[in-house]
Amino acid sequence: MEGKIFYFLLFFFGLTWGSFLNVLIFRYQPNKKFNIFKIISGRSRCPYCKRKLLVKDLIPVLSFLILKGKCRWCGKKISFIYPIVEILSGILAVIIFLKTSPSLFLFLLWFLIFSDLLVLSFIDLKHQFVPNQLLDLFFLLSLITVIFFQIPSHYIWKIFPQFDLRILNHLVGGLIFGLPMWLFCQKTKEKFLGLGDAKTMAISCFLFAWPVSILVFNLSFLIGGFLSLILIFFFGKTIKSKIPFLPFLSLAIFLTFLFENQIVDLYLTLF
Ligand SMILES: [Zn+2]
């Protein structure tokens, strides 16, 4: 019973944190510098009528349901992205806790990493743009995670000690996928993928290190390809539509984070 209450509170914490992430997503403007203090200061307002929201309208998910997804004052529709981000953040909090328990430090690091990726993904969906400041944060969090946790405890290095070259593996992992993608973006003038996508790929492959970085790379294009086909066949997108890549990459990173060891084991059973 106590366990259930704890996870409920953790989920609620995630929902509330998601409201904060929504502020970052919705107040971000691509042509302005990303200034977090400027973005989070000031009361929330309706984007249409500009009237201030009441405190009771700020309860995650619940307010959206009570108001039936409309502004209290002008009745204009509120984006359904708000409750989606809140619910995703709540689910992330619980799943990441289950995965990282009992280390609170590790929980905080991964929760911040996936919060950052959640904001990046939705900004990419809204604006087809990847803010550098959020990428710097992703790199900093990854670096701390690599030094304190990944290097001492890589599962694959216990099975294949010959792969265990410590930080070198991480650098190789990042460069081997990040660099060609970066060059591809330069050559194609970012027509298909942006430099922000290449940088995110490099950082996430650095985070997971060679050879697990192969998994991140392949999964992101597999998910991206599969969902793009669905968009093309069912939602009228064309081959030429620029499809935001960060949501796919973030999902690949999350799956690798959750199932890295199982996938390595599965791979080994094939031989
Ligand atoms: Zn309004």
pLDDT tens across 1-52, in order?
A: 578 899 999 999 999 999 999 999 988 888 777 777 777 777 788 888 988 8
Contacting residues for 17 by C-beta, under 8 A, at least 6 apart: 89, 93, 115
Q: Does the pLDDT value for residue 65 go beyond 80?
A: yes
Give 116 Cα–ligand 1 centroid separation in angstroms.
Answer: 28
Query: What CA–CA distances, in Å, run from 6 to 19, 89, 93, 95, 111?
Result: 20, 16, 12, 13, 17
- Residue 199 to residue 245: CA distance in whole angstroms: 12
Give 57 Cα–ligand 1 centroid separation in angstroms.
Answer: 12
Give 235 Cα–ligand 1 centroid separation in angstroms.
Answer: 29
- Residue 68 to residue 58: CA distance in whole angstroms: 14
Q: What is the mean pLDDT of the chain?
A: 87
How sure is the predictor about 76, in pLDDT bands with cuts at 50, 70 and 90?
A: very high
- Residue 146 to residue 29: CA distance in whole angstroms: 31
Nearest 5°: the CA angle 38, 39, 40 is: 95
Q: Please indicate whether residue 105 or residue 162 has the higher confidence score (pLDDT).
A: 105
- Residue 16 to residue 87: CA distance in whole angstroms: 9
pLDDT (tens digit, 9 = 90+) per residue, 213-260? 888 999 999 998 888 888 778 777 766 667 788 999 999 999 999 998
Q: Does the pLDDT value for residue 144 go beyond 80?
A: yes
Picking from 148, 134, 207, 196, the residue whose alpha carbon sits closest to that of residue 174 is 207
Give 74 Cα–ligand 1 centroid separation in angstroms.
Answer: 4
Ion ligand 1 — residues with CB under 5 Å? 46, 48-49, 71, 73-74
Give 130 Cα–ligand 1 centroid separation in angstroms.
Answer: 29
Give 39 Cα–ligand 1 centroid separation in angstroms.
Answer: 20
Give 23 Cα–ligand 1 centroid separation in angstroms.
Answer: 16
Q: Please indicate whether residue 32 or residue 200 has the higher confidence score (pLDDT).
A: 200
